[in-house]
Amino acid sequence: DIQMTQSPSSLSASVGDRVTITCRASQAIGGYLTWYQQKPGKTPKLLIYAASTLQSGVPSRFSASGSGTDFTLTISSLQPEDVATYYCQGYNGAPWAFGQGTRVEIK
Amino acid sequence: EVQLVESGGGLVQPGGSLRVSCVVSGLSVSTEWMHWVRQAPGEGLVWVARISPDGKRITYGEVVKGRFTISKDDADNTVHLEMNSLRVEDTGVYHCTTRRDYGSGKAVDFWGQGTMVTVSS
C-alpha cells in the first residue's frame, strides 16, 4: 500500500505569511492527490483535487502542485481562518492513504 | 441534499465485536464507492475500508485486514462495517464517506459526522 509522509507535522506562522506544506508518496501516484483541511470538531473539507485543482469556494490564496511522489500545498497569505490541520491523501487506484497531518497555527 | 448518518458505535471490550452502519440519502450506494475512515481522539485520519458500487471489489487497510468486514445493502441504501477482534487502538470516530469525480480536476465529497467506537476494558 502507498504511504504518505507530510512535513512539517506542525507550524506556526504570522498572519500574511506564506506557508508551504509538503507531502511525499512512497511510490509514484501521478497526479492522484487530494488536500483536505480539517478544523476542530468538523469533518474534513476538500480543498484541492487531482494534485492542483482548487475546488469551488476555496479561497485563491490556496494553491498546490506536484506529481509522481512529491507534492506541495501553499497558502500565499495566511489568514486566521486557515488555522486547521491539513492532510494530503493519495488515491492512485489503490486504497486511499492519508498523510499524518500538518497542524497550522497563528504565531 | 446528500446525508450520511452513522450509528452503532459504543463501548466494547478488547477482543469484542461491534457493527456500525451508515444510512445514506440523496445518492445511491449502488452507484458510488463507499469508504470508512476513522480518527482516534486528537489523531489523524486513517482509511479503513472501501466497497465498490457493485459490491464486488472490497479493499481493507492493513490495520484492519482480517478483522473488519465492509458490506452494503442497496435496498436500504446502507453501508455496514462489522468489526471483530477489536483492539484498544481501534478506538475512534468512524466516518462514512464517498467522493464523486466529475473529471477535469473537479470532485465533491460527502462525509457523515461519525460514530464513536471506544475499545476499553
pLDDT number for residue B73: 98
| Cell numbers that stand for A6 in this block | 507530510
Is residue A87 within 8 Å of B44, Cβ to Cβ?
yes
**Contacts across the A-B interface (CB distance below 8 Å):** 55
Residues B2-24 as b or e (16 or more Cβ within 10 Å = b)? eebebeebeebeeeeebebbbbb
Residue range A53-106, pLDDT digits in tens = 999 999 999 999 999 999 999 999 999 999 999 999 998 776 899 999 999 999
Residue range B48-87, pLDDT digits in tens = 999 999 999 999 999 999 999 999 999 999 999 999 999 9
Angle at B25 between CA B21 and CA B29, to 5 degrees: 65
Distance from C-alpha of B109 to C-alpha of A87, rounded to nearest angstrom: 15
User: Are A49 and B112 within 8 A, CB to CB?
Assistant: no
Is residue B68 within 8 Å of B81, Cβ to Cβ?
yes
pLDDT number for residue B23: 98
User: Are B105 and A53 within 8 A, CB to CB?
Assistant: yes
Residue type, A92: N
On whether any CB of chain B is under 8 Å from the CB of A13, the answer is no
Distance from C-alpha of B96 to C-alpha of B36, rounded to nearest angstrom: 5
CA-based nearest residue to B111, from B20, B24, B43: B24
| Cell numbers that stand for A8 in this block | 512539517
> Average pLDDT, whole number, for chain B?
97
| Cell numbers that stand for B7 in this block | 450509528
pLDDT number for residue B64: 96
Angle at A9 between CA A7 and CA A11, to 5 degrees: 95
Residue A34's pLDDT band, with cuts at 50, 70 and 90, is: very high
Q: Quickly count: other Cβ atoms within 10 Å of residue A103's Cβ.
A: 15
Nearest Cβ partner for B44 among A34, A94, A100:
A100
SS3 of A80, please?
helix
Matching residue, cell 489523531 = B43
User: Are B112 and A43 within 8 A, CB to CB?
Assistant: yes
pLDDT number for residue A92: 78
Separation of first and last alpha carbons in chain A: 37
Is residue B85 within 8 Å of B119, Cβ to Cβ?
no
